[in-house]
Amino acid sequence: MKFWSKITQTLTPYIPGEQLNKTGIIKLNTNENPFPPSPKVIEKIKKCVGSQLKKYPDPESSELKNSIANFYGIETNNVFIGNGSDEVLAHAFMAFFKDKKLYFPNITYSFYPVYCKLYEINCQTIPLNKKLEIDINPYLSLDGNIIFPNPNAPTGIGMNLDAIEEILINNPNNLVVVDEAYIDFGGKSAVELTGKYKNLLIIQTFSKSRSLAGMRIGFAIGNAKLIEGLMRVKDSFNSYPLDRLAQAAGKAAIEDKDYFEYTCDEIIKNREWTMSELKIRGIDFLPSKANFIFVKLEDAENMYKKLKARKILVRYFKKTLIDGYLRISIGTKEEMEILVKNIDQIMGV
Amino acid sequence: MKFWSKITQTLTPYIPGEQLNKTGIIKLNTNENPFPPSPKVIEKIKKCVGSQLKKYPDPESSELKNSIANFYGIETNNVFIGNGSDEVLAHAFMAFFKDKKLYFPNITYSFYPVYCKLYEINCQTIPLNKKLEIDINPYLSLDGNIIFPNPNAPTGIGMNLDAIEEILINNPNNLVVVDEAYIDFGGKSAVELTGKYKNLLIIQTFSKSRSLAGMRIGFAIGNAKLIEGLMRVKDSFNSYPLDRLAQAAGKAAIEDKDYFEYTCDEIIKNREWTMSELKIRGIDFLPSKANFIFVKLEDAENMYKKLKARKILVRYFKKTLIDGYLRISIGTKEEMEILVKNIDQIMGV
């Protein structure tokens, strides 16, 4: 269309997992948390629903920022808040990645190349190794910035902090963004390295381990100058990214550490149970530190379709190297039992 | 900082009005609505606060989109939803304004030049006339796209549809974006022209006339191809811009037409009352079609400071041509009475 900018003409947007919120569907396709948000979150939101919604929210989300800083034992000027981690990522791409080459794994969160198109960033992918792990060797001494998720998506494979530190030490002039969307399910966060390395930015979300995908809250942690860069972009885009209820919900969620730990533990248990059941059946999968398992199947697309016909939604990526896998989110124990039962029936066991 | 992109280095972010939400302050500085959201909005949000917040929201905000389409008697593919109208504006600048020159009034919403810096858009301002109105003559047959608010901000002066139509007819190859943030307080919306003119995009917000500044909801209306352009940018930035509660709140707000009309009428009455009181005192102001009045004073900065000392917050812009004015939002009748009384006391009447 003649009014579209050149960039708009070339965009191929990110496609999120299907959002079929019909009743009776077991939804294991977008890595949501099977547990509801903490009761304290629900209570807090209800308290905030009233006449004050006529007023603008705090543009800085200061109280939420404070609570996140307290949780991690850092300062508030090391925290940036956004409307979901996708918005935080978008701002990071604009704030830091525009002028240099950007490197990321060839198999990873498929939104990264989309941001690159939007902001005209020159990007290059680095292949995973044969085990579908991120091999850190190609990431040492690069001539550009770096982004990768830990654990990686959709493989679920985690990286230890020593490996991340080696990448940081060997790229002093490059920014390294670690996307920790799934870190709370058994991985170790690199937040503790942000004090030591000025070239490290961590991005996290409330959509997975905090059961708040429906409220759109993401954040970044890094040194104060990196946070200031993000603030500059945010304040040139939208002064008030989080509404009043999202700010309140986020604060209550991060302060309820017991509930957070309990629900993460349960999900890890369900993941381990599911992996052991798959193993018994001789079904292969990658070692997961996330709230999903990347499962290898002879005909993954067919299994995806057959599960869908049985009202179980998982994610299938029609993409070279990973089209033999299904990404299955970890639901409740009951949901995982139904999944395994249905796989058995489909495979004719 | 070495990790900041060149653009980030040059950004001078938009600065919103002060958000001093202390008790006892009369806040007439950010054009919020003095009335709470409709009781139906409050009720609807409360119903949605529960376990479903663990699930992603509808990425398309389909139900809200339907309700807006119904309200205006248009199709859903003529509606785009964003996280406040600031986000909708940002996406419009990226989707449509990147490749050509952009024109807007020299006195207008101060976020426009900020977006231009962020997206490296070449912009040129067109002076208001001596009465601080938008004179349409310079806007006929331009060599670039056009954006202006109707009514304009911070003047509050409205433009009639004939004038807008003349701009549209004389710029068939340029996109004209009309920012209708304040249209519901006595102006006439150009939505009815969107069916006829493919070069027209309307942007509106729930922050003013719908009493939902705290929930961050904005939208655009235009022909389906323009909406598709916005969708492409949005889906390359953040799939889920509105959380579940914002979507529900917006739907309930737009469906409660009676409450909307009642509160808009009351604000218009309060505005007319305030203007007549200012007139009695010989205080000059611009004719307003918005929920604020742009008031001319001998020493506007001093009046701003003195009102602030008396816990009345209004907006002062330290900027050539308008530094002799204060922008005063229309509050409740009681708030406007207190304002007038305090102006009297400060002026020693």
pLDDT at A35: 97
pLDDT at B141: 87
Spell out which residues of chain A touch residue B237, defining contact as CB-CB under 8 Å: 86-87, 90, 115, 118
Q: Is the pLDDT of residue A270 over 80?
A: yes
Please name the fold of domain B39-256: Aspartate Aminotransferase; domain 2 (3.40.640)
- Average model confidence (pLDDT) for chain B? 96
B4–A54 CB contact, under 8 Å: no
Write down the domain spans for chain A.
6-36+258-347, 39-256
Q: Which residues pair with A103 in a beta bridge?
A: A124, A146
Cβ neighbourhood burial of B180 (10 Å; 0-12, 13-18, 19+): buried
Model pTM? 0.96
For helices B244-255 and B257-280, angle between their N-to-C axes, nearest 10 degrees? 80
HSE value, Cβ hemisphere, 13 Å, CA-based, for B63: 15
Q: Is the pLDDT of residue A19 over 90?
A: no
pLDDT at B23: 75
| pLDDT digits 0-9 by tens, B158-213 | 999 999 999 999 999 999 999 999 999 999 999 999 999 999 999 999 999 999 99
B19–A58 CB contact, under 8 Å: yes
Q: Is A200 in CB contact (< 8 Å) with chain B? A: no
Tell me if A18 sits within 8 A of A32, measured CB to CB: no
- Percentage of residues in chain B having pLDDT higher than 70: 99
Q: Using 50, 70 and 90 to split pLDDT, how confident is the model at A335? A: very high
Cβ neighbourhood burial of A45 (10 Å; 0-12, 13-18, 19+): buried
CA-nearest residue of chain B to A10?
A: B232
Please name the fold of domain A6-36+258-347: Aspartate Aminotransferase, domain 1 (3.90.1150)
How far apart are the CA of B132 and the nearest CA of chain A, in angstroms?
A: 26
- Percentage of residues in chain A having pLDDT higher than 90: 95
Buried residues in A85-111 as b, exposed as e (16+ CB within 10 A):
bbbbbbbbbbbbbbebebbbbebbbeb
Q: Is A240 in CB contact (< 8 Å) with chain B? A: yes
ipTM for the predicted complex comes to: 0.96
- Percentage of residues in chain B having pLDDT higher than 90: 95
Q: Is the pLDDT of residue B21 over 70?
A: no
How far apart are the CA of B32 and the nearest CA of chain A, in angstroms?
A: 6
Cα A213 to the center of its chain, rounded Å: 11
| pLDDT digits 0-9 by tens, B87-140 | 999 999 999 999 999 999 999 999 999 999 999 999 999 999 999 999 999 999
Q: Is B34 in CB contact (< 8 Å) with chain A? A: yes
pLDDT at A13: 82
Q: Is the pLDDT of residue A21 over 90?
A: no
Q: Using 50, 70 and 90 to split pLDDT, how confident is the model at B20? A: low
CA-nearest residue of chain A to B1?
A: A225
Q: Is the pLDDT of residue B325 over 90?
A: yes
Mean pLDDT confidence for A329-344: 97
A46–B49 CB contact, under 8 Å: yes
Tell me the residue type at B57: P
pLDDT at B15: 80
B99–A34 CB contact, under 8 Å: no
Q: Nearest to residue A107, comparing CAs of A131, A141, A137, A88?
A: A131
For helices A62-72 and A244-255, angle between their N-to-C axes, nearest 10 degrees? 20
- A154: cis peptide before it, omega within 30°? yes
| pLDDT digits 0-9 by tens, B250-306 | 999 999 999 999 999 999 999 999 999 999 999 999 999 999 999 999 999 999 999
Q: Tally C-beta pairs within 8 A across A and B.
A: 268
DSSP run (H or E) holding A205: strand A200-205
Helix, strand, coil: what percent of chain A each, to 5? 40, 15, 45
A243–B244 CB contact, under 8 Å: no
> Yes or no: is domain B6-35+258-347 CATH 1.10.3720.10?
no
Q: Nearest to residue A252, comparing CAs of A48, A78, A1?
A: A48
| pLDDT digits 0-9 by tens, B31-81 | 999 999 999 999 999 999 999 999 999 999 999 999 999 999 999 999 999
Mean pLDDT confidence for A92-104: 97
pLDDT at A20: 67
pLDDT at B328: 98
pLDDT at A303: 97
How far apart are the CA of A322 and the nearest CA of chain B, in angstroms?
A: 23
Spell out which residues of chain A touch residue B211, defining contact as CB-CB under 8 Å: 53-54
How far apart are the CA of B192 and the nearest CA of chain A, in angstroms?
A: 20
B16–A56 CB contact, under 8 Å: yes
How far apart are the CA of A86 and the nearest CA of chain B, in angstroms?
A: 5
pLDDT at B93: 98
Mean pLDDT confidence for B300-316: 96
Pick B238's closest partner by Cβ from A84, A226, A239.
Answer: A84
- The encoded tokens of residue B73 equal 């008697």
